[in-house]
Amino acid sequence: MLKFSFALLFYDFFMKLFFVSFIFLFSSVCSPIFSQTKYTISGYVSDKTNGESAIGANVYLKEIMKGTATNQYGFFSLSVEPGSYTLVVSYLGYSDYTQKVELKSNLKLKIELTTSTIITDVFEVTDEKTDKNTQGTQMGTVQMEMKQIKEMPALFGEVDILKTIQLLPGIQSSGEGNAGFYVRGGGPDQNLILLDGAPVYNASHLFGFFSVFNSDAIKNVELIKGGMPAQYGGRLASVLDINMKEGNLKKMEVDGGIGIISSRLTIQGPIKKDTSSFILSGRRTYAGDLAQPFVKSTSRFKGSNYYFYDFNAKLNYTLSDKDRLFLSGYFGRDVFTFKNNRDGFIMRSPWGNATATARWNHLFSEKLFMNATAIFTDYNFVVELEQQDFEFKLFSGIRDYGGKLDFNYFPSILHNIKFGTHYTYHTFVPSNASAKSGDVEFDKGKIIKQYAHDLAIYLSDDYDFTEKLRFHAGLRYSLFQQVGPYDRYMKDEFENTTDTIYYQKGENVKTYPNLEPRFSVRYITGKTSSLKASFTQNYQYIHLASLSAVSLPTDIWVPSSAIVKPQFGTQYALGYFRNFKDNAFETSLEVYYKEMKNQIEYKEGALPESNMSDNVDNSFTFGKGWSYGAELFLKKATGKINGWIGYTLSWTERQFDAINKGNKFFAKYDRRHDLSFVGIYEINKKLTFATTFVYGTGNAITLPVARYTINGYLVSEYAERNSYRMASYHRLDFSLTLKGKETKKFKSNWNFSVYNVYHRYNPYFIYFSNEGNILDGTLKLRAKQVSLFGIIPSITWNFNF
């Protein structure tokens, strides 16, 4: 109760603050523009060697110590009074760019950065006044550089973005064999994963062992775990914004890697030098295929196989100095085949994502930047079973068509205003089945699809109120509408359909309009320290429902409907940020409290077939969630030895009236302690050693407490939900990257990595086995823990020419 009233108090305070500042901000925008003549320095920042635009580079004027950061397309705009200035651009892993400017009229620049000469500075090249850690209003935001990710140890040598971000505080993996990641107590469905602006609904291959993001095709990764800005929405917990490379604008380039279980190849280059380029990237595993010749032709499992592949492509055109066009696409599939020839049993299951985006950048003026995006994304899962005369097919999926208009307006150096609108048309196929016995087609009911409009309008501003105080205020209006055609089945107590309501095509089934305020503030407390606070409210209209205790591709996406209310989250966060020794060390401490309403679970006793030929939401039940905790982060950014330590202390709970007798229970990914350590040591120019260590409290699971006998079989009675903890998870990894002889045309390296160095069997799941019989006194009951990986050494050869 105390917690609750605190939350209310906080809420009230933040809401008032929010509205006051919101009104204040936008009234202040207009006034200074007309008061004095100002000129604008604007332009693009890119990498000199390949023309890739630099995202989030700091651009500032030394004399007034004010500046901005480039947007997603490398664009910046600064409007200041006339005068002479020193323009400085600094960016992760690049040498600082300095230029004297005599500002007498608007100035357009095209800035090309060269890679830092000091190779050890793989992290941010920092300047006292440009360090983002303490200066931005943004909280809980991490940018990762691909170069750094590639040096870390990897399972089977397969470099993975999702695995790397799980080493940051507040972001938890659920161990091996689980898809998805958990941010501040939120479920895997509460992360908005964007690939070039298109949502990716299932970001993992092979049940979570690998992510769908091919590291060779990715330029930049940004993760927002708190204080989500208003241009993002639709998820409660986090945003993972991933940008694909645009393709080398200067010269043809080939990258590749050959590993134990997979290989990759990327080709990129200019179509017309400095104006257009392309990138094509592919990856495929062959572990299952390689094993094929060794499976005896007489084996009953002959023909069983597993593989995945993915493919990225992007085209980039500079149409004029005001217009740029990007076309990008992703396609990936996992294919699993299982055959048991003796029983004539065949299972085939393909699943995967496809995304496509077309983006057009346009500059209306030096101060107004626009990006228009068209989006397509599709995720589907199929499983086909065949035995005897029976055929069974199950499929589910989600498909979106959408568009976005995003504007970036820079009225003065004090403001960075963003506004825009997003629209998506969703088609959900929650779960449908067909079954046949011989010639008789079983009644799987109509294929139930659900359609919905998803619309949002937003406005936000970053405003430097004083030298020390900066606000970010944003407001997002979101509207979600489920529309027909749709058949709603009304149920009796035995889940039998008593009545059906039919909705026509386009007819409104249920509409949810909502306002989502976002607010954050930064106050500089010292030369290299600051205090930040944020308040965020989000609505989430799509939900991932999981029947099993581990997240699998079979988990289905369902929209909000008359029964499923939108998830609603409120997060308060407070952080202290301080850098030491010329920003060589970055530290931060963040605390957060989060409330989530309308969380979704399957009803107790729900069956896999409950979804079929029914409204899937009839099998759900709803409840609340909380999460709170503290995150400590210490990073050494520069030097031959660098890396970080992240520690999280947190609590995550759920309460559902219809589950666990209405009692509160810990979420399965409630993690009291979560520690990660990353260390990178550049031994010499050729040799780099990296190590990671992770520790996490064991997952909360439900175990039986008692047993009884019915019909001669043992039946378990279960304890309170998630009341038991599995053993903790910890693991140490090493990797060594050895650069081969480097010529101007050809570069290569060998990566040796050892996963789980001390061969710990971390728990994957626990089950109970019984053998023998009661009557002859031989019954034995045992608890068994299953682990997936012991020590795994691997080797990968990477090349570039």
Tell which positions 409-468 bind other proteins, by CB under 8 A.
433, 435, 437-438, 440, 442-445
Site for other proteins in 344-383 (CB under 8 A): 344
How far apart CA 201 and CA 195 sit, in angstroms, is 10
Query: Closer CB to other proteins, residue 3 or residue 759?
Result: 759
CA dist list (Å): 398 to 354, 449, 555, 754 = 11, 9, 12, 38
CA distance 693 to 675: 8
Q: How far apart are CA 672 and CA 674, in angstroms?
A: 7
> Distance of CA 168 to CAs 142, 155, 171, 226, 384, Å?
9, 18, 6, 13, 39
CB of 496 to other proteins, least distance (A): 5
- Residue 179 is a binding residue for other proteins (CB under 8 A): no
Q: Give all strands of the β-sheet with 39-47 in edge-to-edge order.
A: 75-80, 39-47, 107-113
Least distance between other proteins and beta carbon 711 (Å): 7
Distance of alpha carbon 224 from alpha carbon 633, whole angstroms: 15
Smallest separation (angstroms) from other proteins to the CB of 712: 5
CB of 202 to other proteins, least distance (A): 17
- With CB under 8 A as the contact rule, which of the stretches 128-136, 180-188, 674-682, 783-791 interacts with other proteins? 783-791
Residue 433 or 456: the one with the smaller Cβ distance to other proteins is: 433
Assess contact for 136 and 129: CB atoms under 8 A: no
* Shortest spacing between CB 445 and other proteins, in angstroms: 8
Quick one: which of 96, 792, 799, 800 contacts other proteins (CB under 8 A)? Answer: 792
Smallest distance from the beta carbon of 655 to other proteins, in angstroms?
A: 17
CA distance 645 to 539: 32
Sequence-ordered strand ranges (E) for 259-389: 262-272, 276-285, 305-318, 323-340, 345-363, 368-387
- Residues of span 592-611 touching other proteins by CB under 8 A: 602, 604-609
Among 287, 382, 591, 649, binds other proteins (CB under 8 A): 287
Task: Name the residue nearer to other proteins (CB basis): 20 or 607.
Answer: 607
Q: Which is nearer to other proteins, 271 or 447 (CB)?
A: 447
What does the alpha-carbon distance between residue 175 and residue 766 come to, in Å, rounded to a whole number? 14
**Shortest spacing between CB 704 and other proteins, in angstroms:** 5
Site for other proteins in 377-416 (CB under 8 A): 388-389
Cα separation of 41 and 106, whole Å?
6
Cis check: omega of the bond before 485, within 30 degrees of 0: yes
Taking the C-alpha atoms of residue 674 and residue 381, their distance in angstroms, rounded to an integer, is 32
Least CB distance to other proteins at residue 334 (A) = 16
Nearer to other proteins, 31 or 388 (CB): 388
What residues have CB less than 8 Å from 289, skipping those under 6 apart? 305, 307
Please say which residue, 686 or 759, places its beta carbon nearer to other proteins. 759
Question: Taking contact as CB under 8 A, which single stretch among the options 96-104, 557-565, 590-598, 708-716 is the one that binds other proteins?
Answer: 708-716
Smaller CB separation from other proteins, 286 or 423: 286
CB of 783 to other proteins, least distance (A): 5
Tell me: does residue 715 bind other proteins (CB under 8 A): yes
Q: Please identify, using beta-carbon distances, which residue of 455 and 792 lies nearer to other proteins.
A: 792
Instruction: Give the C-alpha separation, 572 to 594, whole Å.
Output: 6
Contact letters for other proteins, residues 472-511 (x by CB under 8 A): ----------------------xxxx--------------
- Contact positions with other proteins (CB under 8 A) in 744-773: 759, 761, 765-773
Asked if 340 touches other proteins (CB under 8 A), the answer is no
- Residue 40 one-letter amino acid: T
Retrieve residue 485's tokens. 């055609």
CA angle 402, 280, 43 (to 5 degrees): 65
Count of beta carbons in the 10 Å neighbourhood of residue 119: 12
Nearer to other proteins, 8 or 291 (CB): 291
Closest approach of Cβ 201 to other proteins, in Å? 20
String marking each residue 291-330 x if it binds other proteins according to CB under 8 A:
x--x------------------------------------
> Do residues 58 and 18 make contact, with C-beta atoms less than 8 angstroms apart?
no
Min. distance of Cβ 703 from other proteins in angstroms? 6
Stretch that binds other proteins, among 113-121, 353-361, 586-594, 703-711 (CB under 8 A): 703-711
Q: What's the farthest any 2 CA atoms get from each other in the chain?
A: 99
Binding other proteins by CB under 8 A: which of 271, 705, 742, 801? 705
> Residue for token digits 């520790």?
695
Regarding 685 and contact with other proteins (CB under 8 A), the answer is no
Q: Which two tokens stand for residue 472?
A: 């970010």
Instruction: Judge whether 45 and 56 are in contact, CB under 8 Å.
Output: no
Helical (H) or strand (E) element with 572: strand 567-580
**Listed residue (602, 607, 651, 604) closest to 622, CA to CA:** 602
| Minimum distance from residue 123 beta carbon to other proteins (Å) | 33
- Smaller CB distance to other proteins: residue 265 or 788? 788
# chain residues binding other proteins, by CB under 8 A: 84
Name which of 526 and 772 has its Cβ closer to other proteins: 772
Do 572 and 10 contact (CB within 8 A), yes or no?
A: yes
Sign of CA dihedral 182, 567, 701, 715: negative
* Segment interacting with other proteins, rule: CB under 8 A, options 91-99, 265-273, 579-587, 779-787: 779-787
Minimum distance between the CB of residue 399 and other proteins, rounded to whole angstroms?
Answer: 26
Residue 63, interface with other proteins (CB under 8 A)? no
CA distance linking residue 43 with residue 49, whole number of Å: 18
Q: How far is the CB of 719 from other proteins (least distance, A)?
A: 6
Q: Smaller CB distance to other proteins: residue 293 or 684?
A: 293
State both tokens at 101.
């400017």
Residue 83 or 662: the one with the smaller Cβ distance to other proteins is: 662
Tell whether residue 787 is a contact of other proteins (CB under 8 A). Answer: yes
* Tokens representing residue 262 in the block: 């997979």
SS3 call for 653: strand
51 conformational bin, left if phi > 0, alpha if psi -120 to 50, beta if neither = left
The span of 185-193, 368-376, 580-588, 790-798 binding other proteins (CB under 8 A) equals 790-798
Q: Is 774 helix (H, G, I), strand (E, B) or coil?
A: coil
- H/E stretch holding 789: none
Q: Do the bridges between strand 39-47 and strand 107-113 make them parallel or antiparallel, or are there none, so unpaired? A: parallel
> 535-554 mask for other proteins (x: CB under 8 A)?
------------xxxx-x--
- The Cα–Cα gap between 459 and 472 comes to 11
Cβ 720 to other proteins shortest distance, Å: 8
Q: Tell me whether residue 2 or residue 440 sits nearer to other proteins (CB atom).
A: 440
- CA 113 vs CA 102, 116, 118, 192, 335: distances in Å: 21, 9, 14, 31, 42
Which residues, numbered 728-747, are part of the site for other proteins (CB under 8 A)? none
Q: Which is nearer to other proteins, 271 or 774 (CB)?
A: 774
- Contact call for residue 612 and other proteins (CB under 8 A): yes
Instruction: Enumerate residues 259-278 that contact other proteins by CB under 8 A.
Output: 260-261
Nearer to other proteins among residue 267 and residue 792 (C-beta): 792
Query: Which residue, 370 or 435, is less far from other proteins as judged by CB?
Result: 435
Please give the distance of CA 243 from its chain centroid, rounded to a whole number: 12
640 token code pair? 């031959």
In terms of CB distance, is 157 or 629 closer to other proteins? 157
- Out of 723, 728, 748, 800, the only residue in the binding site for other proteins (CB under 8 A) is 723
DSSP state, residue 8: H
